[in-house]
Amino acid sequence: MKAFLMYEDRDFELQANPLPNAEELVQDLELNILFLSMAAGDEFLHRVARSALLECLHDPESIQYRQQILADCISQPDTARRIYAIAVEAIEREKRVWGWMSGKYPEGTLHRSVDVLQIFVELLKRLRSLADLHGANFHSAGLWRFFTMLQAELNDEYLQTVEEHLERLKFPDGVLMSAQLGPGNKGANYILRKPPYVARTWFKRFQNWVNLKTGSDDHREYVYEIHERDEAGYRALSELKTHGIAHIAVALAQSTDHILAFFRMLRLEMGFYISCLNLRDQLLQKQAAYCLPVPLPECQTMLTVRGLYDVCLQLGSNARVMSNDVDANNKSLMMITGANRGGKSTFLRSIGVAQLMMQCGMFVPAESFHSSLCSGLFTHFKREEDVTMKSGKLDEELGRMSTIVDTLTPHAMVLLNESFASTNEREGSEIARQIIRALLEMNIRVAYVTHMFDLAQSFYQLDCDNALFLRAERLANGQRTFRLIVSEPLPTSYGEDLYRQVFGVSPTSAPQTLI
């Protein structure tokens, strides 16, 4: 049995770092806040959320396959959580089955496998019951196939047959087997036999015992009784029994492993959707919007968003976070300038996080989101001074950019935040200008937050059709609205507003002291 709830034709694999730049994405986009919210205190869900979010899908059909399953889970959250709970219960109960002899003795393996399979049959019945009761309420291709598989493969007749076999394998009347004499009068061709039907009433059992002892039954049997102190005889009998059940013990252990693998995969794949439900619950508590995005092919350069906000910032705030609308269709370059602390870096993070969420099949923090897929997402954010750095900040920035360039492919997206501002504006602008031009020539989408007026103005003057210039809005009184508007770059970032806010006076009116 296969769940196939993450991919149409293969299982989902849990990986620690699916992308080569995973750690940079987590740090720059502050993704740990998102992972913690999706996990809701569950370490396993934290690993599932991290692995899924950092493993980008690259075709709209695969994304829509997950989106449809997620939409079903959102419409039927209780059923989705019950499916996940059954998978978790199966794994936990299997661990608690005592099996200290199972690795060495076939009899121990057999008994443990029977106990585990009885647990699994009970839980498979509950899964089948969910399919019968609620399967008609699910419309996605993935969950419809999953419920149909449960109903077809786990029908009542099959489950009853399994239970009967498990009861027989407890050998309430002893082990019935056949064997032949091989070379040297050694036993060979041991075969476990199905015992004949025996009435279980006490009177019939007593009558069979009397017939056996008196020999009055027409079907006489040869009986050999071992003395209670005959240890060698018991050891020989035990070896005969081991030969008889060895093959069935191996087969039953393999069946147990197969069903356990199914429950583990079900837990893993349903875990992604449960983590999405956890995130949705928190967004609803904060009255924050979300939507299923529209993924477009990589070859199209499209981005149209309404009400986009930084979900990580919203999760850490009790107040509503400001959102933005952007139309960047056919725009390969977004140059973002404007007032200090005006929301530029926050907007850049919101674009990156939403792109990752879309490309793993999740909903996104926006009222609507249409975007073409990217072959890879890369971030190049400024770093604070680090005592472990072996060279200057500019060398460190250039080294990180070189690493990014080595792994870039056409139709990737690169987010740059105050990159190359560690040197003077003239030199930093020239470095950034050449890098941006090279990226655009490779069909790379670029979003750049910068205070370097020389850089932004040089691209603005080119009047390129594929460039969009956004500016952090500032009111006449210096107040920041944290919205981005389409506007040309300005030669100031209004740092004096922050000075006035901190010191209460304008920097031009502050007393001057000559030293």
* Backbone φ and ψ of 212, nearest 5°: -65, -40
The residue written with tokens 């419809």 in the block is 144
326-346 burial, b at 16+ Cβ within 10 Å, e below that, comes to: bebeebbbbbbbbbbbbbbbb
Domain boundaries, the chain: 57-285, 290-503
Q: How many helices (H) and strands (E) does the chain have?
A: 16, 12
Residue 109 in contact with residue 245, Cβ under 8 Å?
Answer: no
Residue 431's closest CA among 474, 473, 402, 390? Answer: 402
pTM here?
A: 0.85
Angle between helices 106-134 and 77-95 (to 10 degrees): 170
Instruction: Tell me how far apart the alpha carbons of residues 94 and 119 are, in angstroms, rounded to a whole number.
Output: 8
pLDDT tens by residue, the chain, 515 residues: 899 999 999 999 987 567 889 999 999 999 999 999 999 999 999 999 999 999 999 999 999 999 999 999 999 999 999 999 999 999 999 998 876 555 566 777 778 888 899 999 999 999 999 999 999 999 999 999 999 999 999 988 888 888 887 787 777 767 777 777 788 777 777 777 776 655 556 666 666 666 655 655 555 566 667 777 767 766 766 666 666 567 777 777 888 899 999 999 999 999 999 999 999 999 999 999 999 999 999 999 999 999 999 999 999 998 899 999 999 999 999 999 998 888 999 999 999 999 999 999 999 999 999 999 999 999 999 887 665 656 678 999 999 999 999 999 999 999 999 999 888 999 999 999 999 999 999 999 999 999 999 999 999 999 889 999 999 998 888 788 889 999 999 886 555 554 456 555 555 555 544 33
CATH number for region 290-503: 3.40.50.300
